[in-house]
Structure 1
Amino acid sequence: MNDENINIDWKSATSIFDFTVKDLDGEDVPLEKYRGMVCLVVNVASNCGLTKSNYRQLNELYDKFKDTGKFAILAFPCNQFLGQEPACETDLKEFKLKQRIEFDFFAKVNVNGKLACPLYNFLKSKQGGILGDFIKWNFTKFLCNKEGIPVSRYGPRTEPLEIGKDIMAILDD
């Protein structure tokens, strides 16, 4: 699990581009590489009741906008919700291949609690939820503009394709 960046002062961050995360190979990925792109950040799980429809629609959404060169989906596996993402990074790579997922996948993280990934602390602080700033379930989605600022938060039951119009609106800015 990616808890190496736990001491980053997320409170002083101004955008998601201030963070570095780990990929599935354990390599550092500065989110700065996404500067100028609209990013959809999602906590994912492979054994959730929402998995099949969300992955299918995330793939469709990615396919719809990837040719613009200005859109990215950043998927962060999380096992904090009823253990619905028990896979290790090796198994996650296999899952990604099997599901034909082309969007970017990162190492497992915690999204809540003392060991929460700093990126998620930042996202939650900028776009709080109805019941507080914690993530309530798998497939919570944060839409960030080209400057890396979180502009919208969507609950787990918001289908990815429903977010398409919001993506279009900020892609055109």
Structure 2
Amino acid sequence: MLALATPVLLAACSEATAGPKEDAPTPPAAQETGIAMSATEFTSIDGKPLNLTGLNAKAILVVNTASRCGYTPQYAGLQELYEANKADGLVIVGVPSNDFGGQEPGSEEDVKSFCEINYGVTFPLTKKYAVTGPDQHPFYKAAVTTLGEPAQPKWNFHKILVRADGTPIKAYPSSVKPGDKALAADIEAALGS
């Protein structure tokens, strides 16, 4: 099982002063059914295994998401980005999280339905995970272990561009939109490598 070992570059996030909602419990991510997970292993929103290294992708954009956030309209841009680049090997993986402002309070069924009905999302979504705090998913723990606290998502729709083998290339704060020219150039470079 592959652990993330290469640095993630992370720009400062404008939401740095906002902390996670303390009273919104999120189920532990480090273990599921008693089996320790690696940094590339998730469970899909439908309850099936979803491993970043098994997506047949050249590059993966991992985005922690929420349905009731000011950045929620980025789902539309993420879907457009996915449609425009999936034939070239880009996979976007949405990681719903209730960590920031309690902005993803619903069940996995609620999240899936919301994304499909409102934004036509067809890219993979995981079940809800913590992306911060003691129960954060190993993907985020590995990034923080490698880079320190600056690698930690500061709000919803933080993005991490990842190679097919699960190693991160670069991270982007929530304010970077899916149509951003620098992000597009980084994705193009990742798909070409």
TM-score, scaled relative to structure 1: 0.84
Partner of 1:22 in structure 2? 43
Deviations 1:37-88 (A, max 9, x none): 2000000001001111x111101111110122x1100100000111011110
- 1:22-61 aligned within 5 A: 22-34=43-55, 36-52=57-73, 54-61=74-81
Partner of 1:151 in structure 2? 169
TM-score, scaled relative to structure 2: 0.76
**2:140 match: secondary structure:** helix
Partner of 1:78 in structure 2? 97
Cα deviation for residue 145 of structure 1 reads 1.9
* AA in 1 matched with 2:30: N
Which stretches in structure 2 are left out of the alignment for 5+ residues? 1-25
* AA in 2 matched with 1:136: K
- 1:95-110 aligned within 5 A: 95-98=114-117, 99-110=119-130
Partner of 1:3 in structure 2? 28
Give me the whole-angstrom Cα distance separating, in 2, the residues matched to 1:133 and 1:172.
25
Greater length-normalized contact order (CA 8 Å, ≥ 6 residues apart):
2
Q: Percent identity?
A: 31
**2:68 match: secondary structure:** coil
Which stretches in structure 1 are left out of the alignment for 5+ residues? 11-15
